Amino acid sequence: MLTVQHLSKKFDKVSALRDVNFTIRPGEIMGLIGQNGAGKTTTFHSILNFLNYDGTITWQDQPLTEKTFNAIGYLPEERSLLPKMTIEQQIVYLAKLKNRPAKEIKPQIDQWLKRFDVQGKKTDKIKTLSKGNQQKVQLICTLIHQPQLIILDEPFSGLDPVNADLLKNAVLDAKKRDAVIIFSSHDMSNVEEICDSLIMLKKGKVILSGSIDSVRDSFGKTEIFCKTTKSLAELQQLPHVKTVEKQLHGQYLLRIDDEKSGPEVFAALTHGKYVEEFRQQPPTLDEIFRMEAGEQHE
């Protein structure tokens, strides 16, 4: 279990983090989201002890030690492979930094390369690989020593959907073995798909926290997706409907003034007749991100 309490950090007069608190339990993936400069990387670097900070960070209720750091897998947003090394040399080198001997790591490399569909042999130099394959090699370096605490900063950036799925499955496998995982991404669909909980930072301060469902539900189920033969103008005249947007494939998005108005809107829309789709839900995480990023939370 990773516990962060009253984490604060200042760079000169700039408050990069302001009293950040969260706990991540074994087998949990927490999404850390926020705009550029919100404090995500500073949070990661504090956990990794790359910088001094105010507050307390503990692992299994104990201060972090060198042994703890050997059990951490960190994938930074800025990739840092050594281009003149071969794939095998790079993986073994980084594993040794975690006190894992080459004789333990080398037999696993072929299996990991196959698992991530890396287009290259372990004797190929890093510089000969495509950007996507280099990214997959770096994730292998992050995971091959079976870390118990995994920090992933934009792990899917630049990957196509097929390769992104390969990486997601590896992250979910780590979750199954009770790893503690922190995941940062600007793609809210990825956060919704694999995270159990989230923290949203703005200017170093936590402005949203909780499970994905609880955060979304806190904004109210004020969106209705429907398919109907009614025109846009007719939908705009329905009770409690604030706005109407035409979507693809004959679908409409209705935003209503109160989630409790859903049954009344349904009755006015259908008049007891069949409609192909009527779905009431809270805003998506992407919409919430856009709303909160544009508001003041001082």
Rounded Cα distance between 148 and 130, Å, is 29
Pairing mode of beta strands 72-75, 149-153: parallel
Rounded Cα distance between 208 and 113, Å, is 38
> Helix 131-143 vs helix 102-115: angle between axes, to the nearest 10 degrees?
130
Residues whose CB is less than 8 angstroms from the CB of residue 290 and which lie 6 or more positions away in sequence, other chains included: none
The DSSP call for residue 221 is S
- Which residue ranges of the chain lie beneath pLDDT 50? 296-298
Residue ranges in 129-187 assigned as alpha helix (H): 131-143, 161-176
Read off φ and ψ for residue 215, nearest 5 degrees.
-65, -45
Rounded Cα distance between 87 and 227, Å, is 52
> Residue 295: its pLDDT value, please?
54
> Residue 131: its pLDDT value, please?
87
Can you list the domains of the chain with their CATH numbers? 2-216 (3.40.50.300), 220-281 (3.30.70)
Read off φ and ψ for residue 36, nearest 5 degrees.
-55, 135
Rounded Cα distance between 275 and 223, Å, is 17
Q: What is the mean pLDDT of the chain?
A: 93
> Residue 293: its pLDDT value, please?
84
- What pLDDT digit, counting tens, does each position of 163-195 carry? 889 989 999 999 999 999 999 998 899 999 999
Q: pTM to 2 decimals?
A: 0.88
